[in-house]
Structure 1
């Protein structure tokens, strides 16, 4: 699969939907926000799982600005999930949202989950979780378990988890997730692998995971994608984004 071959969004005659999902740590929009918006728009996502969304003073204003600049809508998260946030195109019908605050370890940053059930077309339902796990190994492992406890959502058996894991694939928290979910990069690699850092990509600590039944059509860092310049990727934030194309089957009403 070449960079130009990532499938575009569409709804199939059988009711299944091809969905483009982007996972992106945006470092509270402290870098070049114009470059950030260009990268997101060029990826043409249906869903964006954001990590490190603005979460302090007037955070809703900044979330709204990012949504407007990228032709997306705010779905859930931000300060209410302690950083993770979900944006979506008008193609997605929002059926359910919930922001989850995870247990706080004294002295450490509070973590949370932004979750939503989105419908594409008449019946292709997808449970989406945006996460940003702890820097501390023990807490990170526990958070991975708490995340898995929320799957599957009662509204659909089909789930995707996307986020900054603060851990490489060989780590035990990463492996805890792949014991239940499929690592989309491993299932169908596309683009580049490493997500950190933009100036010297050398590790994959950001990932997309899919449940059984969700077909991965391609997943990776969109370096070289038309409209995504290396300069913008370096300027937008301190992580590289992960873009996945997923086929979500129809779910009986």
Structure 2
């Protein structure tokens, strides 16, 4: 008998009090340069409500490739891609998109320009969640500054329930990671589930991908999924050069102005 590891992670649902359990996946997909079939199998097996993508297609005909990925995974494109220089947000039809914004961060000569894909999503009648997908710089000093910009952007959404997910290019003891974790809950540290390290996909040694949430969000479980139904270890290695991070989050019902 095969055991589904996702049975240990709370399922997506809306509660009688208006709160919602949301499954959020963060995944660096390396511009779809690897085994797209394996990538699709991984995403579908995780059954996410929201996917925060990093390194989405961003060059010639990028919208077509983003739409194909969304279609193949039974999701819709919410925002981001080339317009955010790589970060992108996909969602299931369960999410009602209230507003979106793609933000370009300041350019440093000689370094890849970074951006943020941001959205406010509603689940059920009243559970609103602000979502930021990010991919921070390879340069230590720059990603520390960008971590501060991520926090500013999160606060700028005006939502108490908010989450940042992405490739931080930093480990938990790094300055950028610590700057984020000082104000947000580190999902893995708060409620570890599944595996920890995310990079590289072949023999992961570092945890540089993370889901972090404000205090209004209850982290029910967060980590690298393993043993997914219909997904082999070879699929996880072939899909891209990072492993995904899957989190189950309880989002409170929000009143007027975003207050729970």
Deviation per residue, 1:196-233 (Å, 9 max, x gap): 01111111000000101100010000012333321110
Equivalent residue of 1:225, what SS?
A: coil
Pair 1:72 & 2:75 matched: yes
Which one of 200, 204, 209 corresponds to residue 201 of structure 1?
A: 204
Instruction: State how 1:57-136 maps to structure 2 within 5 Å.
Output: 57-136=60-139
1:171 and 2:174 matched: yes
Specify the alignment match of 1:152 in structure 2.
155
Which among 219, 222, 246 is matched to residue 219 of structure 1?
Answer: 222
1:140 aligns with 2:143: yes
Counterparts of 1:80 and 1:13, CA distance in 2: 38
Q: For residues 108-152 of structure 1, give each alpha carbon's deviation from its aligned partner in whole angstroms, at most 9, with x where no partner exists.
A: 001000000000000000000000000000110000001111223
User: Structure 1 length as normaliser, TM-score?
Assistant: 0.98
| Equivalent-residue separation in structure 1 for 2:208 and 2:173 (angstroms) | 10
Q: Which residue of 1 aligns with 2:231?
A: 228
**Structure 1, unaligned runs of 5 or more:** none
Alignment-derived partner of residue 24 in structure 1 = 27
The runs of at least 4 consecutive aligned structure 1 residues that moved more than 6 Å come to: none
Once structures 1 and 2 are overlaid, which stretch shifts more, 57-66 or 227-236?
227-236
CA distance in 2, matches of 1:90, 1:97: 16
C-alpha distance in structure 2 between counterparts of 1:22 and 1:50, whole Å: 8
Q: Deviation of residue 154 (structure 1)? A: 4.3
C-alpha offsets along residues 167-223 of structure 1, whole Å, 9 cap, x if unaligned?
A: 100001000001110000001000000000111111100000010110001000001
How many residue pairs align between the two structures? Answer: 252
**TM-score when normalising by structure 2:** 0.95
Segment of structure 1 superposing worse, 78-87 or 145-154: 145-154
